[in-house]
Amino acid sequence: MSTGIGARVQRKEDKRYITGKGKYTDDVRNESQAYAAFVRSPHAHANVNGIDTSAAMAMDGVIDVLNGQQLTGDGIGNIICGWAITSKDGSPMNMGAWSALATSKVRYVGDAVAVVIAETQALARIAAEAVEVDYEVLPAVAASDKALAGGAALIHDNAPGNLIYDWEIGDGAATDAALAGAAHVTELAVTNNRLSPNAMEPRAAVATFDECDDHYTLYTTSQNPHVARLVLSAFYQVAPENKLRVIAPDVGGGFGSKIFIYPEEITCLWASMKTNRSVKWTSDRSEAFITDAHGRDHITTAKMGFDAAGKIVGFKVDTIANFGAYMSLFSSSVPTYLYATLLSGQYNIENIHCNVRAAYTNTVPVDAYRGAGRPEACFLVERMMETAAREMGKDPTDLRRANFVQEFPHQTPVIMAYDAGDFGANLDQAMAAADVAGFAARKAESAGRGKLRGLGYSSYIEACGIAPSAAVGSLGAGVGLWESAEVRVNPVGTIEVLTGSHSHGQGHETTFAQIVAERFDLPLENVSIVHGDTDKVQFGMGTYGSRSGAVGMSAIVKAMDKVEAKVRKIAAHVLEASEDDIVIEGGQVKVAGTDKAMGWHEVGLSAYTAHNLPPDMEPGLKEGAFYDPANFTFPAGTYICEVEVDPETGVTDIVQFTASDDFGTIINPNIVEGQVHGGIAQGIGQAMLEQVVYDDDAQLVTGSYMDYAMPRASDVPSFSVHHASTTCPNNPLGMKGCGEAGAIGSPPAVINAITDAIGSNDLAMPATPQAVWNAIQAAK
């Protein structure tokens, strides 16, 4: 059975995951382990006038209680946002100070003011409750539009009106003119509901200071351990990079929430030095709801204009993005370059203008969450297309087809240059698989049972393969977004690949090995993947934005190119042949057309014994590469959702969900389909169940699974997943990325289907039974 590109190889890592043998951060237990518990603000906004730690310090087993004054006094730097956005008036974004432990003011429920270090976790938590903080409660605001309205509480002194930036993209005047001349203008107001990421493994950190070497080791739940080390070192001044090792071992899901460097990791490192103990913190689910960066939370109004033939002439968008109380690491890029640049959707739109205002509120910081900006763009564009079709009396698929981009490359007016795609092919495939032709009969059958049946489309596009370093640098990114790899052929011919990507559920140990096994025609088990440890692996950028295939694997290919070149040279020398005649297959390195051959392992041995190498060749067989992508990649596709609504209760049953995706080259269909299943489940979660709710005092209402509804297996149908692919021309494997597509493309398909079923377009996410029932009542 083939184990190469396109093979449905079983995941190599699953045995340890399924049998409970994975090694996660919380599994790390050092000698004389101490435990941290944070003292967190119960108020959304308050001045901290004093902290009394005496009762906690008096408890047996409490090692120390540390606060923000001590932390900043030791020179620990403020947490920063790493992407600079410039407002349309030319001013820089207004980034407020964020200390890992608040010094004089708390700005959201959960903001940490102190940390207790104790001998046990239970004791640390009890002692944390004994720390008395003198709060002077201030007015608070949770909603972004209210925060920007006059008179709201001021959250950061250097952000007047709570405005972080007021940014725009596209030609406003041309778009206005196009809308003024349009035959039809559709207006739409949408909210993109705030979500909590809910990775299966909560965040955790184990920090150990070694006073002999002045060295720190941090185990943590990170999607990008090198970026964590860089930021901890360069910005937070915890330790120089060579004195800080960051290890992200098995990590149980991230969805973006584990990209960022949080106060807890910083505090544990610093506290380890202060107490000279290894300090461990493990979030529980309640703490996760108030500390893991939330996602989405946009309020948008938009207008789309069409000519008499149904061609889009202009698209004008105004968005407010809620950033929470502080600017998280990549927060600023999400509602700008990851959102507004995708507003052209799959369509040929000459005029687009988008204005984005980013607001501070007294809520958990908001940052990238599976899709990061692209779900918000897709939801707006695809709700707009469906709404416009209904208003103009057109079939929603006809309207889409009439506007599809047909020729590539295609430059949109919002930066992105689409490189390849066949949007019509995905729509055709999805419609056939969903039996759209038979929908009318199914709808009639449902009606006979008193049920309302509806069909909704979403033709999504997104940008992955993040990202060309120079391009993102010019847009304000503080880092390059290339990836690194090192391919080590051992003297016995087995191979280790050191990758800067990080796997936290994606199956890299399998897919990365597949491309190596295919390239050198070796057994899959001869290839091992090493990742997640800054002491083992060269600097790398990590995993997010569906980049590990298109960028991470491309780096491996580049390194393999170098390995192959050296293998050819060695073999040609030993076998006395021309390099051009060397063939690598079946575990051998051969001279084509002859019986001259040496085993793959013999090439490795030759390289390391160095007894008979070409003149001037260095011994060894190990090559590294850095790959910087030439462009974003553009996964696209069409999703079709079919629902049946019970009008008595508003309960919506997704009876069929069909996906046709274009991911370019697929390495392992099992893993890709799993990504699509998970993504759609998360998208259905956003569309129908999930919503972070704050009350008027900015207290979190949905602080546990009792109130925050996660999708369960019974909430999702058996997915019908298909592929109609075009090859990405910009990377060596032709890959586009698949990790986020499901979460990006599915929410509008769901809402379009429900609104089709109930005959009312006025329905916000999440479309809970209550919301659907209310919409039905309102339309009566």
Q: Residue 68 or 197: which CB sits closer to other proteins?
A: 197
Q: Token digits for 738? A: 């698949």
- Closest approach, Cβ 768 to other proteins, in A, equals 6
Residue with smaller CB distance to other proteins, 299 or 772: 772
Nearer to other proteins, 27 or 284 (CB): 284
The C-alpha atoms of residue 764 and residue 190 are separated, in whole angstroms, by 7
Among 706, 713, 718, 780, binds other proteins (CB under 8 A): 706
Check binding of 1 to other proteins (CB under 8 A): no
Q: Which of 58, 122, 492, 565 binds other proteins (CB under 8 A)?
A: 122
Q: Which is nearer to other proteins, 185 or 693 (CB)?
A: 693
Integer CA distances (angstroms), 95 to 1, 69, 152, 267, 329, in order: 55, 20, 18, 21, 11
Q: Among residues 125 and 146, whose Cβ is nearest to other proteins?
A: 125
Contact 776, 690 (CB under 8 A): no
122 vs 565 by CB, closer to other proteins: 122
Query: In the complex, what is the shortest distance from the CB of residue 26 to other proteins, in angstroms, rounded to a whole number?
Result: 16
- Rank residues 436 and 709 by Cβ distance to other proteins and give the closer one: 709
User: By CB under 8 A, what part of segment 455-514 binds other proteins?
Assistant: none
Task: Examine residue 286 and tell whether it contacts other proteins (CB under 8 A).
Answer: yes
710 part of the interface to other proteins, by CB under 8 A? yes
CB closer to other proteins, 633 vs 768: 768
Closer by beta carbon to other proteins, 525 or else 648: 648
Give the amino acid at 481: L
Minimum CB–partner distance for residue 684 and other proteins (Å): 12
- Nearest approach in angstroms of CB 198 to other proteins is 12
Q: Kindly state the number of chain residues that form the binding site for other proteins, as judged by CB under 8 A.
A: 24
Beta carbon of residue 121, minimum distance to other proteins (angstroms, whole number): 11
Residue 700 DSSP one-character state: B
Q: How far is the CB of 704 from other proteins (least distance, A)?
A: 8
Q: Which is nearer to other proteins, 500 or 711 (CB)?
A: 711
Tokens 């304000």 belong to 476
The Cα-based distances of 163 to 54, 93, 145, 151, 167 in angstroms read 39, 9, 10, 13, 11
What would the two tokens of residue 685 be?
């979660």
- What is the smallest separation between the CB atom of 708 and other proteins, expressed in angstroms? 6
| Residue 434 vs 775, nearer CB to other proteins | 775
- Tell me the per-residue interface mask from 75 to 114 with other proteins, x by CB under 8 A, - otherwise: ----------------------------------------
126 binds other proteins (CB under 8 A): yes
Nearer to other proteins, 550 or 689 (CB): 689
d(CA 192, CA 196): 13
Nearest residue (CB) to other proteins, 125 versus 562: 125
26-31, long-range: CB within 8 Å, 24+ apart, which pairs?
Answer: 26/201, 26/204, 26/280, 26/282, 27/249, 28/206, 28/219, 28/249, 28/280, 29/280, 30/206, 30/208, 30/278, 30/280, 31/278
Cβ-count burial 66-79 (b if 16+ within 10 Å, e if not): bbbbbbbeeebbeb
For residue 505, what are the contacts with CB-CB under 8 A and spacing of at least 6? 251, 252, 253, 254
Q: Is the peptide bond before 409 cis (omega within 30 degrees of 0)?
A: yes
Residue 770 has which token pair? Answer: 């209550």
CA distances from 733 to 17, 464, 671 (A): 29, 15, 17
- Cβ proximity to other proteins: between 188 and 709 the closer is 709
330 touches other proteins by CB under 8 A: no
Report the nearest approach of other proteins to the CB of residue 292 (Å). Answer: 17
Minimum Å distance from CB 699 to other proteins?
12
Question: 645-704: which residues touch other proteins (CB under 8 A)?
Answer: 648-650, 689, 691, 693, 701-702
Residue 680 Cβ, how far from other proteins at the closest point, in Å? 18
Q: Are 260 and 223 in contact (CB under 8 A)?
A: no
Binding mask 154-193 for other proteins (x = CB under 8 A): ----------------------------------------
**Residue in 9, 201, 773, 775 binding other proteins, rule: CB under 8 A:** 773
Asked whether 292 and 256 are in contact (CB, 8 A), the reply is no
563: exposed, middle or buried (Cβ count in 10 Å: 0-12, 13-18, 19+)? buried
Token digits of residue 408: 């590539």
Task: Tell the residue number behind the tokens 């990775």, with chain if given.
Answer: 199
Given the complex with other proteins, which of 500 and 650 has the nearer CB atom? 650
Helix (H) or strand (E) holding 301, with range, is: strand 298-306
Computed from CA positions of residues 27, 31, 37, 38, in that sequence, does the dihedral angle turn out positive or negative? negative
Strand pairing of 215-220 and 244-247? parallel
Min separation Cβ 706 and other proteins, Å:
4
Cβ atoms within 10 A of the Cβ of 674, count? Answer: 18
* Binds other proteins by CB under 8 A, chosen from 86, 125, 275, 402: 125
Could you give the CA distance from residue 511 to residue 674 in angstroms, rounded to a whole number? 13
From the CB of 694, what's the least distance to other proteins, in Å? 11
Binding other proteins by CB under 8 A: which of 14, 129, 395, 445?
A: 129
Concatenated DSSP letters of 169-189: EE-HHHHHHHHHT-SEEEEEE
Q: Which tokens go with 582?
A: 């060397």
Q: Which of residues 752-771 bind other proteins (CB under 8 A)?
A: 768-770
Q: Tell which positions 384-423 bind other proteins, by CB under 8 A.
A: none
Q: How far is the CB of 654 from other proteins (least distance, A)?
A: 14
Shortest Å, Cβ 742 to other proteins: 21
Q: How far is the CB of 128 from other proteins (least distance, A)?
A: 10
- Work out the number of other CB atoms within 10 angstroms of the CB of residue 528: 17
Q: Which residues bind other proteins (CB under 8 A)?
A: 122, 125-126, 129, 286, 648-650, 689, 691, 693, 701-702, 705-710, 768-770, 773-774
